[in-house]
Structure 1
Amino acid sequence: MSGKFMIYGATGYTGKLVARTARALGMRPLLAGRNEARLKSVAGQHGFEYQAFGLNDRQALTAALSQVDAVLHIAGPFAHTSQPMREACISTRTHYLDITGEIDVFEACAAADAEAREAGIMVMPGVGFDVVPSDCLAAHMKARMPDAVELTLAISGLGRMSRGTAKTGVESIGKGTRVRRDGEIVALGSPPRREVDFGQGPKPAIAVGWGDVATAYHSTGIPNITVYFEASPELERMASLGAIGRWFASTGFMQRRLKGAIESQPEGPTDAERREGFAVLVGEAVNEAGDRIVSRLRTPEGYTLTAMTSLEIMRRTLAGRAVPGFQTPSRVFGPDFIVEFEGCTRRDMNG
């Protein structure tokens, strides 16, 4: 292996943060993306090589991937970008990592397992805050309760979103609240609600279609999975949309309006906001007998953690620790992988 990797989508908020972190770690990625002027600017700040091309240019994409051993794909929404990148990685035998949190993308990557194994490459979507901490927490809950039949994950502390994350959220409005029931992903007409103690007493929380609805099942085999976010005014407004409201918000006209409004927002959290921010994740597992265990995980702010975990997984991939086929972070690196990072602490509350 050459030990060389590509960051595709290096000019977005997260891409620039990951590139900056890579330089601080002494890594030298090839930066790539569609906009040559922006790429030149980002690459020039760090002394990195760059290549500009779109994912619809298969010849240029294949040529670029042939120069590297692995790609860290950061350009979303991944519903549009994952497939062409993943297929090109399989054809060039290039390891594929991305930072998606989109359920359909995880399931599409899982469906490509046989192709990835045949190519001898690892396909690991979700190597950032989506879904490293929650996936490791899910695996930890499974280890604590091997006979668990129900898994609940709850997340607090999500601050300002990047524009890319917000646009991905807008595209998912029409899909309802997705959960896993009896091993199958189903959409609920209205989101379940409950209270969750994130460390300062019970707080209202609302179910969301987070990536672990897909990945936690692949990591643990637990058949019933629900993911909650701590309630916020924005989430409450989304949850209050009925079927007609979700349909209207998913029309082309409204999607364009909503995405246009996102473009006027700040690119993402400031460095100060990221330094001060943190997230708390709660895992709860229940077995057939009704026994219940709870664990709590605290991490750095989400975008900061994404840069940390994605680059560490890339480092391990280049070091020969990739496992061919579709993989989740905890399946390859174990449930304790997350607590190896500075600022990540886990506590078992009972059981």
Structure 2
Amino acid sequence: MSQARKVLVYGASGYTGKLVSESLAQRGIPFYMAGRTRSRLEAALQIVEERHGQPVDAQIVVANNDLESLLPLFAEVDVVINVAGPFMQIAWPVVEACLEAGCHYMDTTGEQDWTAAIGEKFGAAFAAKGLLLCPANSFMWAAGSLAAEVVLENPQIDSLDICYQIDNGLPSEASTKSFLRMVCNDVSQYYLEQGEYKSWPNDVAYQVSVPYRNALLSAHPWGGACEPVWFKNDPRVRNCKVLTAVGEHMIGPVIQAIKAFNTVAPGLTQQQREEWTNHMGDQMDTGEPPKDSLDVQRGVIVVHGQGRQITTSYVMNLSAAYTWTGDLCAEGALRLLDNRQKNVGFQSPAKAFGHRELIQFFHERGYCSALPA
């Protein structure tokens, strides 16, 4: 692999940006740390180097979030990893600049509407240029896509019921705002039923059971997830639902916020709705959380599959969700630099890089359980 600087992390000063940068450094990949504020980027680089234990081959670049500012930077790289959200609000110029500059696009979104929107608007154009358009390289919703592909290896399965369970979740500021704007959306949050989108109610929590837990847990559609988007036009899948049990300490306050939003939403424009959820995110934000831990922030993804004559299940442990997100982005960048991607155009991480290859790799890295025999 060339040691030229061919990867750029946009929004690198944030919580997830530092983790992506650290994982790139572990792989010896030179990269740009990009964002709008030099002082924040410099502080972030210092933290990354402290965690890495030695100097990091990163160059800081400052750019506004507009096409004119981003194009000259993106023209120098092959891969852009976008970690700046809420994505539906601010990420459009980043995707447009990637397409025009001719570089692969990855991000860490959890926003279902953003994923669907960029796939519809830009998927064909990226594919025509041989470029990857790959959103949601993150625990939610890459982990579920990996586990779902294992279940779909059985050709009789056509329906998926997915549950994410997370212990001691510590959402970052950007994640809080992204998920609030999704869960407060009273017109989307889709699941897939007979190949068509159907809307979850946004203010209802559900009781779910997961393996190895004796108590029922509260779960929420949590924006609907990206798996229904990826499987929308997949001939293998007729139905797909996703629920998230993110923890009782979060479900309650989120439901309260949604009900407050539903009270005022009928009188608000879309811009005012976005401003409302951003303001609520600021109120709920408690500062940047510590780096997560394999022994504290543990997760389980349960996928039930059903067909005409068969049912099956696959359970995948995957812990330290944010740290794994950083590692997934860095591994994806490395595979793109080495031309080891499986597909181009609009793809889930599972389809872009291969679900079995990724599960095996991250099992060896200590993040997740092994593939089934």
Q: Deviation string for 1:278-334 (max 9, x for gaps)? A: 211100011134x32111000121101101111101100110123321111221332
- The Cα of 1:96 is off from its aligned counterpart by 0.5
Task: Note if 1:296 corresponds to 2:315.
Answer: yes
Partner of 2:345: 325
Q: Deviation string for 1:38-87 (max 9, x for gaps)? A: 1233345435211111222x222000001111101111111123321111
Partner of 1:97: 106
Q: Deviation string for 1:89-144 (max 9, x for gaps)? A: 11111110111111112112321221112222111111121322211111111113
- The Cα of 1:272 is off from its aligned counterpart by 6.2
Matching residue's letter, 2:360: V
State TM-score, norm by structure 1: 0.88
The answer (yes or no) to whether the contact 1:142–1:220 under 8 Å persists in 2 is no
Residues 19-38 of structure 1 aligned to structure 2 (within 5 Å): 19-38=21-40
- The Cα of 1:215 is off from its aligned counterpart by 2.5
Distance 1:308 1:226, change over 3 A: same
Match of 1:276 among 296, 314, 331: 296
Distance 1:220 1:193 in 2: 29
- In the alignment of these two chains, the number of paired residues is 344
Distance 2:215 2:278 in 1: 37
- The Cα of 1:243 is off from its aligned counterpart by 6.7
Partner of 2:75: 66
Partner of 2:185: 175
The answer (yes or no) to whether the contact 1:82–1:105 under 8 Å persists in 2 is no
Partner of 1:339: 360
The answer (yes or no) to whether the contact 1:284–1:295 under 8 Å persists in 2 is yes
**After the TM superposition, which segments of 4 or more aligned residues of structure 1 sit over 6 Å from their partners?**
240-244
Distance 1:187 1:68, change over 3 A: same
Residues 190-201 of structure 1 aligned to structure 2 (within 5 Å): 191=204, 193-201=206-214
The answer (yes or no) to whether the contact 1:138–1:220 under 8 Å persists in 2 is no
Residues 138-287 of structure 1 aligned to structure 2 (within 5 Å): 138-144=148-154, 146-158=155-167, 159-176=169-186, 177-189=189-201, 191=204, 193-201=206-214, 203-208=216-221, 209-217=224-232, 221-230=236-245, 232-239=248-255, 245-248=261-264, 251=273, 254-263=276-285, 265-268=286-289, 270-271=290-291, 273=293, 276-287=296-307
Distance 1:332 1:34 in 2: 30
Distance 1:310 1:227 in 2: 23
SS of the residue corresponding to residue 285 of structure 1 reads strand
Partner of 2:11: 9
Residues 87-126 of structure 1 aligned to structure 2 (within 5 Å): 87-111=96-120, 112-126=122-136
Task: Note if 1:52 corresponds to 2:62.
Answer: yes
Distance 1:11 1:220 in 2: 40
> Which runs of 5 or more residues in structure 2 are unaligned?
50-55, 266-271
Matching residue's letter, 2:145: D
The answer (yes or no) to whether the contact 2:111–2:179 under 8 Å persists in 1 is no
RMSD: 2.6
The answer (yes or no) to whether the contact 1:74–1:98 under 8 Å persists in 2 is yes
Distance 1:170 1:129 in 2: 17
Matching residue's letter, 2:36: R
SS of the residue corresponding to residue 130 of structure 1 reads helix
State TM-score, norm by structure 2: 0.83
Distance 1:178 1:272, change over 3 A: closer
Q: Deviation string for 1:148-207 (max 9, x for gaps)? A: 232111111251111110111111233244312222222122547343223233523424
The answer (yes or no) to whether the contact 1:22–1:311 under 8 Å persists in 2 is yes
Matching residue's letter, 1:186: K
The answer (yes or no) to whether the contact 2:63–2:70 under 8 Å persists in 1 is yes
Structure 1 range deviating more: 299-308 or 192-201:
192-201
SS of the residue corresponding to residue 185 of structure 1 reads strand
SS of the residue corresponding to residue 62 of structure 1 reads helix
Matching residue's letter, 2:338: A
Partner of 2:52: none
Distance 1:288 1:315 in 2: 40
SS of the residue corresponding to residue 125 of structure 2 reads helix
Distance 1:48 1:191 in 2: 45
Matching residue's letter, 2:26: A
